[in-house]
C-alpha cells in the first residue's frame, strides 16, 4: 500500500501506522506529502515514527513514477 497526502505529521502518519498494524506492507511516498509542522521537528518526528513502525519511506521517482504519478 502506498500512502501520501496532507498532513505528514497527522493524517498521513496515522494512516501509514494503522496500515502496518493491519498487516499491510506500507510505503510512504515522502515527496507526495506535505506536513503541517506546528512545532519545529514535528515532521521529522513523524517520519521517524513511521519508519520505526515498519513503514518503508521512499519517493515517487524511486518507484519509477512520472511527474503525474503514473508508473
pLDDT digits (tens, 9 = 90+) for 36-63: 999 999 999 999 999 999 999 999 888 7
What is the Cα gyration radius of the chain? 12
Cβ–Cβ under 8 Å, residues 45 and 17: no
Domain ranges across the chain: 2-63
pLDDT averaged over every residue in the chain: 91
Taking the CA atoms of 55, 59, 1 and 5 in sequence, report the sign of the dihedral they define.
positive
Kindly state the cell numbers that stand for 26: 506500507
Taking the CA atoms of 15, 71, 33 and 46 in sequence, report the sign of the dihedral they define.
positive
Inform me whether the pLDDT recorded for 70 exceeds 80.
Answer: no
Q: Would the pTM count as exceeding 0.95?
A: no
Q: What is the pLDDT of residue 52?
A: 98
Amino acid at each position: 500500500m502506498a500512502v501520501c497526502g496532507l498532513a505528514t505529521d497527522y493524517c498521513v502518519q496515522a494512516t501509514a501506522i494503522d496500515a502496518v498494524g493491519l498487516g499491510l506492507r506500507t510505503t510512504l511516498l515522502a515527496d507526495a506529502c506535505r506536513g503541517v509542522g506546528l512545532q519545529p521537528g514535528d515532521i521529522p518526528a513523524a517520519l521517524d515514527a513511521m519508519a520505526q513502525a515498519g513503514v518503508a519511506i521512499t519517493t515517487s521517482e524511486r518507484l519509477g513514477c512520472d511527474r503525474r504519478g503514473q508508473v
